[in-house]
Structure 1
Amino acid sequence: MNALMAASGPLVGVLLGFGFGFVLERAGFGSGCKLTAQFRLTDWSVFKVMFTAIVFAAVGIYVLELAGWVEAASIYVPAPYLWAVAAGGALIGAGFAVGGYCPGTSAVGVMTGRIDALVFFGGILIGTFAFASLFPWLDPLTTAGELTKGDRLPEALGVPEWLVLAVLVAAAVGVFFLGGWFERRARQRGAA
């Protein structure tokens, strides 16, 4: 039985990847135009979906832990390296704003025949190989600024977990209202 489960792991990963890609495409996230609208503050659906997923997962894990079904301490959380996260976030954010795609959505765009996504995906491959060849020199950056005070945000901030989750939920509600306001404003400008 264990051998069957181990052998099916890659297949499950591929099937989940195709399912995730299908959902992204159906939501319109395989289009660079839809994604760059987020940066123009005219379509907040990408931000709403991602923020909802983060909040749902965080609150879900907390509730499952309270019910005794999951032990949060057993969930692997990689050590955060602040300088690497900041540099990577800036680079991927700039690429996202310029190209209209992140790595996942560019793969979806390629699979649906979008030429701009193919160009962007090619850039991702070139960047990946360039990073790999430069890694010996970049390694100090990838491990700089390790956050060592606790593995999780509540421990790092020294506050109860429920408080972090309450702030996340409040921020999500605020983002939904703010995003809706920006979207209505953009529609009114378009109609005028």
Structure 2
Amino acid sequence: LRTLLASPAVRWLLAASTLRFMAGFCIGVWVVPFYRAQYPAQIGVRFALLKASVNGVAGAASAAGGGYLTDRLSRSEQRMAQWIPAAGCVLAVPFWLGTMFAGSLELSLAALFAEYLVAECWFGPTVSSLQRAAPAGAQGLAQGLFNTLTLAGNLAPALVGYLLKYGNVELPVALAYIVPALYAASALAFVVAGGPVAGAG
């Protein structure tokens, strides 16, 4: 473990991934309670189908598109494997704010669809970069450590819950601040990781 974490590339990739998991888990845990509170009369079967299409279609398209773009663009610039996830995080912020403050359920779901479409491009490039950056013989440990980051990811939804209970903060406000902050921090960490990862490659 010490040898693995001695690599700056690995450390920055894990930091970026942790922050990205935190943002994603905040959305996954709290977006449905948000919709129930904001649009109580419109939550039903139609909403469930639309929400499922957002997760499934947009998320899958983003994951595939992120991998494809990385494969194409990283031939000439290795840091694209980090810049693309960083760009996805940055582009997701305005769409997430649109999700929170849209004037209707339909507009909010459209913004959420766009948010997923740009945000979920990070996973494949990051796993690939982590495998490339890990020292010889530590790829399995690197993947295992990456998988455990989901535990840290759950801290962010817990923080939102704490703020709702003890901080006198409304859910849309909490999500409008916390999720963009996590996206921005993750984007920065991905950009910083680009240099060491390119050097390790």
TM-score, length-normalised on structure 1?
Answer: 0.32
Give the TM-score normalised by the residue count of structure 2.
Answer: 0.30
Give the helix-richer structure, 1 or 2.
Answer: 2
Structure (1 or 2) with the larger CA radius of gyration? 1
